[in-house]
Amino acid sequence: MTAPTAEPLISTSQLGHAYGDVVALHHLDFVVPAGRVGLVGANGAGKSTLIKVLLGILDPTEGTARVLGIDVGEDPITVRSKVGYMPEESCLPLAQTAADFTVYAAELAGIPTKAARQRASDVLTLVGLHEERFRYIGEFSTGMKQRAMLAQAIVHDPELVFLDEPTAGLDPAGREDMLSLISRLGEFGINVLVSSHVLTDIESTCDWVVMLDGGRVLRTGPLTGITGSDAVDVELLGDNDHDGVIAALRTRGAEVEVRGGVIRVTANDDAFDIIRDALAEAGAGMRRLSQSETSLEDIFLAAGDNE
């Protein structure tokens, strides 16, 4: 559940940014709705630059960006009063306790001190730092620091939170915990923009995706629309006649692609019916039959090849 909003969460028009002669963002045009949005791209694709432009830290060298319906260039202060930000690099003062810093982070967003203390306690509990909240941040592990960074990003109840590589440096268990927390943010009514070069992180947490490559938008849309497919994957029993099944499928007009032990079938008519008939004709049995899903990685690689 995310906060209902008539305006798109983020929209850009011909947005560009350059560091001197190095162009980091090229004419970005995209609109994303409320929800959990993944910003995907390789290192150096422009993800962090885009987030900094959306926060008003960096000025666009061309074009405009609107966040929550507000023009960032015209009114960055109003945008900042509605968002949270978890940067890729550490943003924590090592000489403060997690509790003190989280209270301060809330006060910086204008939350009165008493409410800030209560919220900091609640949020540190939410991210799993309740027991460690009075420890100095300098004594924290990488995973605990990441949690503290998430806490400061959401303690003031932002409408939108930018998370830049939130799983960087985490071990597998810590990564799972962080992804679980990010997934829950949507349930709390907080819109999320997650930047990551780990595509599986985006697949597991987001419902909309913006793919960047070399500062350009490669593709954008709902995750299901991008990764969904009309194809059907069928896995045969080991000793069956693969070639016979493939031939039977092709005679029925299906496109067939073999990926390891899986046959991917794409057809204009109902693929399930065609597979049933082909298996019957070849006398083969199957282990698994499912709607095919293309991973973000496949799409990313395919789009890169097309470029």
Contact footprint for another protein (CB under 8 A): 52, 55-58, 77-78, 80-81, 83-85, 87, 89-97, 100, 104-105, 107-112, 115, 119, 122-123, 125-126, 136, 152-154, 156-157, 162, 184-185, 187-190
Closer residue to another protein in complex, CB, 104/272: 104
Q: Residue 127 CB, nearest distance to another protein (Å)?
A: 10
Paired with 194 in beta bridges are 38, 163
Q: Residue 82 CB, nearest distance to another protein (Å)?
A: 9
Q: In sequence order, what DSSP letters do the residues of 270-281 get, joined into one string?
A: -HHHHHHHHHHH
State the Cα–Cα distance between residues 208 and 64, nearest whole angstrom.
21
Q: With contact defined as beta carbons under 8 Å apart, do 52 and 162 qualify?
A: no
Closer residue to another protein in complex, CB, 9/217: 9
- Edge-to-edge strand order for the sheet containing 62-67? 22-32, 10-19, 62-67, 70-71
Q: Residue 126 CB, nearest distance to another protein (Å)?
A: 6
**CA 115 to chain centroid:** 31
State the Cα–Cα distance between residues 230 and 238, nearest whole angstrom.
25
Within a 13 Å sphere around the CA of 118, how many CA atoms are in the beta-carbon half?
Answer: 5
Paired with 290 in beta bridges are 233
Residue located via tokens 């006060």: 107
Q: Please, what is the end-to-end C-alpha distance for the chain in angstroms?
A: 36
Closer residue to another protein in complex, CB, 45/53: 53
Closer residue to another protein in complex, CB, 68/126: 126
Q: Residue 174 CB, nearest distance to another protein (Å)?
A: 20
Q: Residue 74 CB, nearest distance to another protein (Å)?
A: 14
Paired with 12 in beta bridges are 30, 65
Closer residue to another protein in complex, CB, 122/273: 122
Closer residue to another protein in complex, CB, 189/304: 189
Q: What does the block give as tokens for 208?
A: 């909309």
272, 300, 298, 307: which is closest to 286 by C-alpha? 272
69, 75, 126, 68: which is closest to 102 by C-alpha? 126
Q: What does the block give as tokens for 217?
A: 């938008």
Q: Residue 191 CB, nearest distance to another protein (Å)?
A: 13
Closer residue to another protein in complex, CB, 67/231: 67
State the Cα–Cα distance between residues 48 and 32, nearest whole angstrom.
17
Closer residue to another protein in complex, CB, 157/207: 157
Q: Residue 123 CB, nearest distance to another protein (Å)?
A: 7
Q: With contact defined as beta carbons under 8 Å apart, do 46 and 217 qualify?
A: no
Q: Residue 118 CB, nearest distance to another protein (Å)?
A: 9
